[in-house]
Structure 1
Amino acid sequence: MSNTPAAADSRSPGTEDTAVAVLQPDTTAAKAFVGRSPGQLAWLRLKRDRTAFGSAITVAVFILVALLAPVISRLYGMTPTAGFSDKLNFEGLPVGYLGGISGEHWLGLEAGSGRDLFMQLIFGLRTSLIIAFAAAIISIALGVVVGIVSGYFGGWVDQALTWLTDFMLAFPFLVFALAIIPIINTALYDVGEEVPGSFRITVIIAVFALFGWMTTARLVRGQVLSLREREYVEAARAAGAGSAHILFKQLLPNIWAPILVAFSLALPGFIAAEAALSFLNIGVVEPTPDLGRLVYYGRQWLGTPDWAYFMIPATAVFVVVLAFNLLGDSLRDALDPKAGK
């Protein structure tokens, strides 16, 4: 009798709803749990890191100031090369407190020349960042190409590129830069002829890129050696994909994290190296503003009342390099899959 319509109608509505719920489970909880990509996980780690947040803000401010240097110059009302010799005393020191700091000259004046130190600092920062970013982009690109080709093809190609990498690492960078940069400048310009600032910057970028790709190449090679036997690479080979497709469409997207970290850590190194070359009077020279040269000129006034002329650019170099280093370290920790364990 339980199969009769009357018996079927005697079932309670709640029983029928329970059966429907069993057959069609609620998907609300499943929708609430959404997997995150490695990039999203890295972004979450970065947002929780106060050091990363502070260093990122500092780096962003420096980059923004460097990009807007011409606009700031117009609003400020003077150029970096404008001199105010009438505001210097007979010893060449600015008249006033802490090197002539005033409402007109926010950071004072440059001792000896009387140029506005705030303008020199902003345009010097612009020069340093242009050199650092250009050298980092070129060197990272070279390192990625060498590393990915070396790791994927192996054999004699890997041996040749590894030997080249070791050979370049054997060169002492600073000694070679001190020797080659003046040679290049004098080889293309006659003695006594002024070398354009843009050409000097190009030479510095080329030298930095020439000696900056080896670490990235080794890093990328190690990553590719562990990825080239993965299933998706074998599937691409079986499907008839060429080597270029496998290298730059299959392998490269899977090693972007270490490449990004390498780029972020290369920037402060190039900034410090450029400042060091300018401090040694090998890098950027007058009239192009530069942070390293400001430190070089300011050292002779350190024991005078105009000590701010040395401390301000030296502090600027220190803060820029420190901020980029901290951001690079935080980025490396955020992109590390084991960082949260």
Structure 2
Amino acid sequence: MSNTPATADSRSPGTEDTAVAVLQPETAAKAFVGRSPGELAWIRLKRDRTAFGSFITVVLFIVVALASPLISKLYGVTPTAGNAGLLNSEGLPIGYLGGISADHWLGLEAGSGRDLFMQLIFGLRTSLIIAFSAAIISISTGVVIGIISGYFGGWVDQALTWFTDFALAFPFLVFALAIIPIINTASYDVGEEVPGSFRIGVIIGVFALFGWMTTARLVRGQILSLREREYVEAARAAGASSAHILFKQLLPNIWAPILVAFSLALPGFIAAEAALSFLNIGVVEPTPDLGRLVYYGRQWLGTPDWAYFLIPASAVFIVVLAFNLLGDSLRDALDPKSSK
């Protein structure tokens, strides 16, 4: 009787089943891939069409604002250059819709003859510089105060909470209307022109002074719920310093609400800056600004140059709306309980 080796067809069924069973755990592992909270938030954000549209709009505005000097060079017109020869005897631009032409895409500014497109993009740069600077300073201040208050508790928490409530009692608009002109006039001699950069710095300082309280309360509440967690106790037991626990253990776990607070603070600062410039308290001539464009454009609503008011007003509306929608979408994406 010959001993013939077993062929592939003569293998027992159990061998194939065992091979499949061995491969099944790997297949199952590939089917269920763990994702971090950041990856889950990114998936939710990509599915949100509103978030995508607002993100593209925000990026477009930021790129245009950053590239405004290059655009001015390619466009061939500076924001302060006047075109008196293109104005009629009443100071209105000659042509259709405020002098819109191939040389001046959005027309001319009534009275001065400055190119409205250049005024718009440089005014957008001014608004975004103020908004981003104020948001970074105010959010950072609120994070530091909130994390210290929530972690240490006791009299430290009571003192910082009282200080936060005290700051919230001040009406922002009334205080800004009062303090900004006082700072500008007190810093320079009578009759001396206040530089535009100094005015911008004052506005950023006032916004930062009144913009940190909400973030401080938010961060304090988050820290109160995290300071007794196991990893914090383990860090204490290992002899970690308070600074290490605050900024290495706790802070990375509250980045989501901080990011949402930052994204929602930006449109508020943009709108507030435009309102102050509209009231002739914020940025003034010759620095381009969206709020000032709206202020000067309102007097031409009853004339054929109504576009001079509509264009900058629409720009303010679109910028604020895009930042607000992006902030709301970001909040929904970072919320684990969100249905999106």
Structure 1 segment 87-236 matched on structure 2, within 5 A: 87-236=86-235
SS, match of residue 211 in structure 2: coil
- Matched to 1:277, the amino acid is L
Give deviations 1:322-341, integer Å, cap 9, x for gaps.
00000000000000000138
Question: For the residues of structure 2 that align with 1:26 and 1:243, how far apart are their CA atoms?
Answer: 44
Specify every segment of 5 or more residues in structure 2 that has no aligned partner in the other structure, as ranges: none
Task: Name 1:237's counterpart in structure 2.
Answer: 236
Match for 1:206: what amino acid? G
Partner AA of 2:292 in structure 1:
R
Question: Is 1:337 matched up with 2:330?
Answer: no
Residues in 2 aligned to 1:114 and 1:218: alpha-carbon distance in whole angstroms? 48
Cα shift at 1:27: 1.2
Q: How far does residue 14 in structure 1 lie from its aligned partner after superposition?
A: 3.6
| 2:66 matches 1:61 | no
Aligned length: 334
2-side partners of 1:212 and 1:25: how far apart?
A: 55
Rate the CA distance shift 1:22–1:57 in 2: closer, same or farther, 3 A.
closer
Residues 242-298 of structure 1: CA deviation (Å, up to 9, x unaligned)? 100000000000000000000000000000000000000010111100000000011
1:305-336 Cα deviation digits (max 9, x unpaired) = 11111110000000000000000000000000
Other structure's SS at 1:217 match: helix
Question: Following the alignment from structure 2 to structure 1, what is the Cα–Cα distance between the partners of residues 18 and 97?
Answer: 84
TM-superposed CA distance for 1:188, in Å, is: 1.0
In the alignment, structure 1 segments of 5+ residues that lack a partner are 1-5
Instruction: Indicate whether 1:267 and 2:266 are aligned.
Output: yes
Q: Match of 1:83? A: 82
Tell me whether 1:308 sits opposite 2:296 in the alignment: no
TM-score by length of 1: 0.95
User: 1:231 corresponds to which letter in structure 2?
Assistant: E
The offset of 1:31, in angstroms, is 2.6
What is the alpha-carbon distance in structure 1 between the residues aligned to residue 262 and residue 25 of structure 2?
46
Give the AA of the match of 2:93. Answer: P
Cα RMSD after superposing both structures: 1.6
Partner AA of 2:74 in structure 1: L
Counterpart CA distance in 1 for 2:299 and 2:222 is: 48
| Post-superposition CA distance 1:41-82 (Å, at most 9, x none) | 111111110100100010010000000000100110010000
Question: Separation in 2 of the partners of 1:203 and 1:306?
Answer: 33
